[in-house]
């Protein structure tokens, strides 16, 4: 897909996509941001997967926008909305982890990262998209041009490998 093709796609669908997101979110500013994010993700996917054909680009874009809207609404629900006065906030105990906990956590993260680097490239890609970026199996499959069954198998391999490696490191 050329830059012109992407521009044409954007011009053809941005208004409709913005209206679609605005109906879901009832916030034109967030809808505008997510419209841009949708096309950014589409462009990034196309750049990273030039050989993967997307048969229905409009459907792909709307599905991406729908998923971004759901993610936004989930984050919004999890965000605290009550306000508290400064005195009440000052009385809350510090819940930051200790330095030992931070160092231990970083060390564990390094061991997990090393274990992941031992995996084949495709398995690492699937793991990163599903577990780090939080995409659903179908989105991972679409992005990588594989079946959802393959996504599940790659995730199973990655998870098993990391768990076995962690167990071996502890022993």
Instruction: Please name which of 62, 69, 63, 54 lies closest in space to residue 12, comparing C-alpha atoms.
Output: 62
Tokens of 44: 């990034």
Distance of alpha carbon 142 from alpha carbon 150, whole angstroms = 11
Question: In this predicted model, what pLDDT tens digit does every residue of 103-158 receive, in sequence order?
Answer: 888 888 888 888 889 999 999 999 989 888 888 999 999 999 999 999 999 999 99
pLDDT of res. 95? 66
CA neighbor of 53 nearest in space, from 119, 139, 128, 145: 145
pLDDT score recorded for residue 84? 61
| One CATH from 3.90.245.10, 2.40.360.20, 1.10.630.10, 1.10.10.10 for 100-170 | 1.10.10.10
34-86, pLDDT tens digit by residue?
999 998 998 888 888 888 888 888 999 999 999 999 999 998 888 665 666 66
Class of the 3-78 domain? mainly alpha
Find tokens 């995730």 and name the residue: 155
Helix (H, G, I), strand (E, B) or coil at 165: helix
**Which residues of the chain form CATH 1.10.1740?**
3-78
How far apart CA 116 and CA 154 sit, in angstroms, is 12
Asked whether the whole model's pTM tops 0.75, one would answer no
- Residue 45, token pair as written in the block: 């996917």
pLDDT above 80: residue 88: no
């Amino acid at each position: 897909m050329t830059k012109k093709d992407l521009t044409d796609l954007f011009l053809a669908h941005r208004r409709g996509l913005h209206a679609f997101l605005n109906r879901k979110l009832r916030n034109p500013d967030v809808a505008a941001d997510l419209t841009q994010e949708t096309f950014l993700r589409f462009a990034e996917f196309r750049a990273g997967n030039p050989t993967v054909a997307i048969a229905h680009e409009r459907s792909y874009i709307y599905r991406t926008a729908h998923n971004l809207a759901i993610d936004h609404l989930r984050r919004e629900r999890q965000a605290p909305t009550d306000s508290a006065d400064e005195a009440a906030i000052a009385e809350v105990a510090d819940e930051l982890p200790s330095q030992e906990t931070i160092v231990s956590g970083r060390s564990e993260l390094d061991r997990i990262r090393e274990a992941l680097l031992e995996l084949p490239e495709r398995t690492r890609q699937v793991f990163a998209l599903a577990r780090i970026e939080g995409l659903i199996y179908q989105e991972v499959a679409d992005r990588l041009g594989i079946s959802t069954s393959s996504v599940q198998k790659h995730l199973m391999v990655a998870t098993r490998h990391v768990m076995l490696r962690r167990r071996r490191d502890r022993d």
